[in-house]
Structure 1
Amino acid sequence: MKITARDLTFDVVAGGPDGGAPVLLLHGFPQHSGEWAAVTPALHAAGLRTYALDQRGTSPGARPQGAEAYRIAECALDAVAVLDALDLASVHLVGHDWGAICAWHVALRHPARVRTLTAVSVPHPHASAYAYANDPDQRARSAYIKLFRQPGKAEEVLLEGDARRLRAIFDGAGLDAAGVDAYVRPLLEPGALTAALNWYRAMSSLDLVGLGQATVPTTYVWSDGDLAIGATAARACAEYVSADYRFVPLAGVSHWIPDQAPSEVAAAVVARCLA
């Protein structure tokens, strides 16, 4: 379906039983709502109704110009506006990678709209900031962000040679060439990669202002094979959740948890939603 909200048009993939408890799924970079395709069947079998949103920059009808338009607070407001358009007062919220960051901001800034939160890969923003400030290993893991924030340069590096480096991002995800191409091909459309990278270019320390502890029941799923998020950030997450909290560590799994371990993600989401 297509949802018009905030003068933008978002693509949303809906599924599951009508009347089921609603679940909003937010994808990360460099992916789209298709990253939830292997997760949702188990959610539907559990009686949950899912809405997988192609977020700002990914939906072709939601690509405003300029990096400032991609501040995380704006992306969180998109999610809330989509809920309004769907006439959903509150949902179970699930996000991976940038989708997890967006989900944290929705849960922290608009807690009345969130029944539960399941964050995959990326912890509470203050846990990430703590690890970056105190752990050299985390700073090394985050070094790629410097390139992604360089307009033009990042696009050149990622797209050269039939997007060889963009495709290589998915090493370890357990995807075949067709699976990788399903994520990369939409980013080859004019302006698509720039819009996706603008999430990184809009990052600011001001994004943390006003963020407190999460007050909704929260599950955090992390994998020890994640090249982007280390153990310091993962372990710190619990300090920033004041509600019921579950930490689900996965051994031998890469950053691409929904693709590589969809059953484990689905089990964590179902357990949280039906608790």
Structure 2
Amino acid sequence: MRVELSEVSLEVQDNGTGRDPVLLLHGFPDTHDLWRHQFKALDAAGHRVIAPDLRGFGASDRPADPTAYHPLHSAGDMVQLMDRLDVGRVHLVGHDWGAGVAQALAAVEPARVATLTLLSVGHASSLLTAGWEQRRRSWYMQLFQREGLAEEFLSRDDFAQLREMLGAHPEPEEALARMREPGALTAALGVYRAGLPAEVMFGPVPDGPRLRGPVLGVWSDGDPFLTERSMTGTEAYVDGEFRYERVEGVGHWLPLEAPERVGDLLLGFFDAHGRPPRES
């Protein structure tokens, strides 16, 4: 369904019924479809499940202003979306850049987050202080900052370079098809440019917002982009409970590559922390 917000219109999947609302946020270069396996599992367990295409991705609007892609803007979209859908508090789950948006939402509206689950990507300050190996794995983020140059490089020869980068994605051709749409690649790269510009990546590490527990961090040992330390270091920025889970033999796209494991982890974590009130 389509949901009109103050700045953008978002494409949203919402089962519309059930207890304990769950909000699922995807990252680059995905859409709400990333969560289709978890959507079914959570729906079957009686949850209300909401999964939007974030601004700049999928069928949602693509603002022309590059600054519009800062994670705080997407966090604001999620607050408005919850209001439009009459949802007070949620179990909040994010993967990749969706984890960054989820943390921004949890930081600015902590009362509306019953639990926070971060898949693959931990706290930004942990990422930036995780050491040389993480810096090496993050090389592509510097490329993504170069507007125009990055688009030309990634789309050259029928997206050969982006295809190579997404070699471990379970559904690379579907992702590439979305990037071929006019303006889609620039919009998708916008979150890197607004959220992790060069002065943040290579300057003094900023004091990122602290997170209120309970927080679940999940990392997979086959992730080519992120080190375990970048996730485990998140605990230093959490006030309250931080639980860490390592998934063996799986790459970056946990919701697609280990759907049953992710579903079990989510349901167990939600059950351990009760039901969020329906009223804010």
Same fold (TM over 0.5): yes
Match of 1:183 among 165, 175, 178: 175
Partner of 1:140 in structure 2? 136
Q: Indicate whether 1:219 and 2:211 are aligned.
A: no
Summarize deviations over 1:12-53 as a string: whole Å, max 9, x none.
0123x7132111111110111111112221111211111111
Measure the CA separation in 1 of the matches of 2:66 and 2:4. 21
Kept in 1: contact 2:222–2:251 (CA 8 A): yes
Preserved CA contact (<8 Å) 1:75 1:102: yes
Q: Distance in 1 between matches of 2:266 and 2:53?
A: 19
Q: 1:141 & 1:212 partners in 2: Cα distance?
A: 24
Q: Distance in 2 between matches of 1:103 and 1:9?
A: 19
- Mapped contact 1:3–1:11 kept (Cα < 8 A): yes
Q: In 2, are the aligned partners of 1:108 and 1:211 still within 8 Å (CA)?
A: no
Q: Which residue of 1 aligns with 2:5?
A: 5
Instruction: Tell me, yes or no, if structure 1 residue 271 matches structure 2 residue 263.
Output: no
Q: Distance in 2 between matches of 1:27 and 1:36?
A: 8
| One-letter amino acid of the structure 2 residue matched with residue 144 of structure 1 | Y
Alignment-derived partner of residue 19 in structure 2? 20
What one-letter code is carried by the residue in structure 1 that aligns with 2:228? A
Q: Secondary structure at 1:163's aligned position in 2?
A: helix
Match of 1:160 in 2: 156
Contact 1:27 1:55 in 2 (8 A): yes
Q: TM-score, normalised by structure 2?
A: 0.89
Match for residue 171 of structure 1? 167
Distance 1:62 1:209, change over 3 A: farther
Q: 2: CA distance between counterparts of 1:254 and 1:194?
A: 25
Please report the TM-score for the alignment, with normalisation by the length of structure 1.
Answer: 0.91
- Alpha-carbon distance in 1 for matches of 2:112, 2:51: 16
Among 234, 238, 241, which residue is 2:238 paired with?
Answer: 241
Counterpart of 2:37 in 1: which secondary structure? coil
Moved more, 23-32 or 54-63: 54-63
Q: 1:61 to 1:170 in 2, by over 3 A?
A: closer
> % of aligned pairs identical?
38
What pairs with 1:27-66 in structure 2 (closer than 5 Å)?
A: 27-66=26-65
Task: Give the Cα–Cα distance (whole angstroms) in 2 for the partners of residues 102 and 245 of structure 1.
Answer: 18
Query: What residue in structure 2 maps to residue 71 of structure 1?
Result: 70
> Does 65-74 or 24-33 show the bigger shift?
65-74
Residue equivalent to 1:86: 85
Aligned counterparts of 2:164 and 2:86: Cα–Cα separation in 1: 40
Question: Deviating runs (4+, > 4 A) in structure 1?
Answer: 204-210
How many residues matched? Answer: 267
After TM superposition, list the pairs within 5 Å mapping 1:91-110 onto structure 2. 91-110=90-109
In structure 2, stretches of 5+ residues that fail to align are 273-280
Q: Aligned residue for 2:276?
A: none
Question: CA offsets per residue over residues 163-197 of structure 1, 9 Å max, x none?
Answer: 22222333234x2xxx3222221221100110110
Partner of 2:278: none
- Give distance in 1, aligned partners of 2:60 and 2:13: 15
Structure 1 vs Structure 2 CA RMSD: 1.9
1:84 shift after superposition: 1.2
What SS is found at the alignment partner of 1:274?
helix
Change (3 A) 1:260 1:11: same
Whether the aligned pair in 2 keeps the contact of 1:107 and 1:216 (CA below 8 Å) is no
2:8 partner letter: L
What is the identity, as a one-letter code, of the residue corresponding to 1:184? L
Distance 2:207 2:126 in 1: 15
CA distance in 1, matches of 2:19, 2:172: 32
Residue 18 of structure 2 aligns to a residue whose secondary structure is: coil
Return closer, same or farther for 1:197/1:209 CA change in 2, 3 Å cut-off: same
In 1: Cα distance, 2:141 partner to 2:183 partner: 19
